[in-house]
A = this chain, B = another copy of it.
Amino acid sequence: MGRKNLIVGQSGGPTAVINCSLYGVVSESRRHKDEIEHIYGMVNGIEGFLAGNLLDFDEVLPGTMAEGLKITPAAYLGSCRYKLPDSLEDPVYPQLFKRFEELNIGYFFYVGGNDSMDTTSKLSRYAAKIGSDVRVLGLPKTIDNDLVLTDHTPGYGSAARYVAETVREIVLDASVYHKNSVTVLEIMGRHAGWLTAASALARKFEGDNPVLIYLPETDFDPEDFIAKVQECQKKNPTVVVCVSEGIHDKDGKFICEYGTTVGTDSFGHKMLEKCSDQLVKMIRERLGIKARAVEFNVSQRCSAAMMSGADQKDTVRSGIFGVRSILQGETGKMVSFVRKETADGSCYMDCALEDVNLICNQEKAVPREWINADGTDVGPEFIRYAAPLIQGIVEIPQGDDGLPAFVYRK
């Protein structure tokens, strides 16, 4: 189809390695100068693109400068939360494809989670509908690890490593006083418990904290929780519990909603509380012991310091594989990972392609059989699954100020 330009955008929430897929796309595209002329980036996703915001990678990150993307968290290109209309009759589609034509775009990449795969699906279907030769591929990215048809999603390994390592540190911190105490750690994940489950990797020995782990895949029973905490405290005065933000009771009511009836603030707003705050209140009231809630903040999705080497490497590969595939004519698909076991019991990830239409409106939960019967822990199947994804430290180059030398968009 002659020499064309490539465009890539990022969408949805930040992750530690979202710029690694970008790096894969940019570096591999530069190896195909005969087919790809310019490499454009949409600034703030498809929403920014519609507003005319784009950049040329040869201008902003020429040559080896692009390497900095591999260690820079968040989203170098900026992101958006913009959903394309469901009807392909909407005028935004011809508008977009007219712009693609003006820019001589032949290859379109979108990096993101569920919503971004929805965008990928719609654009590729519209291209087919109008007979456009623009090829459209999706690159997965979400710390939630909830995309189907892939072993895991880029970003999950680093977030899981953050959770495992930070929980291990906090367990040490919580254990310094020889007094009864309960620490409730609240981890991201409204519908899927993949990230909270990673806290099981923090355990160093049999019976180590966290002694209780609750995922949104099962119903949370407050009475049973109190009994379990009491039981655990008989063995170790320091009890650390990890919960997904999205845990709910058997009636489907979120635990974080237990507190919303307590009142309004001085401006008349409904009080917002965390599920960990609710659990801490229950423990204090029912057991009369010291308890505190720690909410894992946005660092769990954007910490470069705890980036997983495996996640970084595989995510770069997903971008490289995407470029090779799109040049071979692929469109309407998402790059996925397929786990291959080696003879010595270790594993590696192969890249593959899956129909993006089968991915965009699905959600993958932690299999019920990987969770114990009473919903208070994950089993060895999960550990076997997740352990390879958090391996390896990434050395982050430091600037003159002694802090990570991230790359910035000017």
Residues of B within 8 A of A145 (CB): none
Instruction: Indicate if A344 sits at the interface (CB-CB under 8 A).
Output: no
The number of chain A residues with a CB under 8 A from chain B is 71
User: CA–CA, A180 to B313, complex, Å?
Assistant: 34
Residue pair B298, A297 in contact (C-beta under 8 Å) = no
Residue pair A169, B299 in contact (C-beta under 8 Å) = yes
* CB neighbors of B among A376-410 (8 A): 387, 390-393, 395-396, 398, 401-404, 406, 408
A27-35, A88-96, A300-308: which lies at the interface? A300-308
CB < 8 Å: which of B178, B201, B406 contacts A403?
B201
Residues of B within 8 A of A390 (CB): 402-403
Q: Closest CB of chain B to A342's CB: distance in Å?
A: 17
Q: Give the residue name and chain of the B residue nearest to A162 (CB).
A: B305
User: CA–CA, A298 to B296, complex, Å?
Assistant: 10
Q: Give the residue name and chain of the B residue nearest to A261 (CB).
A: B266
Q: Give the residue name and chain of the B residue nearest to A47 (CB).
A: B178
Instruction: Indicate if A357 sits at the interface (CB-CB under 8 A).
Output: no
Task: Knowing A204-B408, A295-B297, A296-B297 are in contact, say whether A265-B259 is a contact too (CB < 8 A).
Answer: yes
Residue pair A74, B172 in contact (C-beta under 8 Å) = yes
User: CA–CA, A402 to B386, complex, Å?
Assistant: 11
Q: Give the residue name and chain of the B residue nearest to A12 (CB).
A: B176
User: CA–CA, A281 to B265, complex, Å?
Assistant: 9
Residue pair B165, A305 in contact (C-beta under 8 Å) = yes
User: CA–CA, A48 to B202, complex, Å?
Assistant: 27
Q: Closest CB of chain B to A215's CB: distance in Å?
A: 21
Q: Give the residue name and chain of the B residue nearest to A272 (CB).
A: B277
Residues of B within 8 A of A174 (CB): 298
Residue pair A80, B177 in contact (C-beta under 8 Å) = yes
Instruction: Indicate if A271 sits at the interface (CB-CB under 8 A).
Output: yes
Residues of B within 8 A of A265 (CB): 259, 262, 281
User: CA–CA, A391 to B14, complex, Å?
Assistant: 27
Residues of B within 8 A of A48 (CB): 178
Q: Give the residue name and chain of the B residue nearest to A168 (CB).
A: B403
Q: Closest CB of chain B to A267's CB: distance in Å?
A: 5
Residues of B within 8 A of A262 (CB): 263-266, 271
Residue pair B78, A299 in contact (C-beta under 8 Å) = no
User: CA–CA, A117 to B294, complex, Å?
Assistant: 30
Q: Give the residue name and chain of the B residue nearest to A278 (CB).
A: B265
Q: Give the residue name and chain of the B residue nearest to A53 (CB).
A: B178
Which of A80, A172, A201, A267 neighbours the largest number of chain B CB atoms within 10 Å of its CB? A172
Instruction: Indicate if A44 sits at the interface (CB-CB under 8 A).
Output: yes
User: CA–CA, A75 to B171, complex, Å?
Assistant: 11
Residue pair A173, B402 in contact (C-beta under 8 Å) = no
CB < 8 Å: which of B78, B168, B267, B294 contacts A175?
B78
Instruction: Indicate if A341 sits at the interface (CB-CB under 8 A).
Output: no
CB < 8 Å: which of B165, B172, B294, B302 contacts A297?
B294
Residue pair A14, B295 in contact (C-beta under 8 Å) = no
Residue pair A403, B202 in contact (C-beta under 8 Å) = yes
What are 29 inter-chain pairs, A to B, with CB distance below 8 A?
Answer: A10-B176, A13-B176, A43-B178, A44-B178, A73-B173, A74-B173, A75-B176, A79-B177, A80-B178, A165-B305, A165-B403, A169-B302, A169-B303, A169-B304, A169-B305, A170-B299, A173-B302, A174-B298, A204-B401, A259-B265, A259-B266, A261-B266, A262-B263, A266-B281, A269-B284, A295-B295, A297-B297, A305-B305, A390-B403
Q: Apart from A79-B177, A263-B263, what 5 extra A-B contacts exist at CB < 8 Å?
A: A169-B304, A170-B302, A262-B263, A269-B281, A299-B299
Give A residues with C-beta under 8 Å from B.
10, 13-14, 43-44, 48, 72-75, 78-81, 161, 164-166, 168-170, 172-178, 201-202, 204-205, 259, 261-267, 269, 271, 281, 284-285, 294-299, 301-306, 387, 390-393, 395-396, 398, 401-404, 406, 408
User: Top 3 nearest A-B pairs by Cβ distance?
Assistant: A263-B263, A74-B172, A173-B302
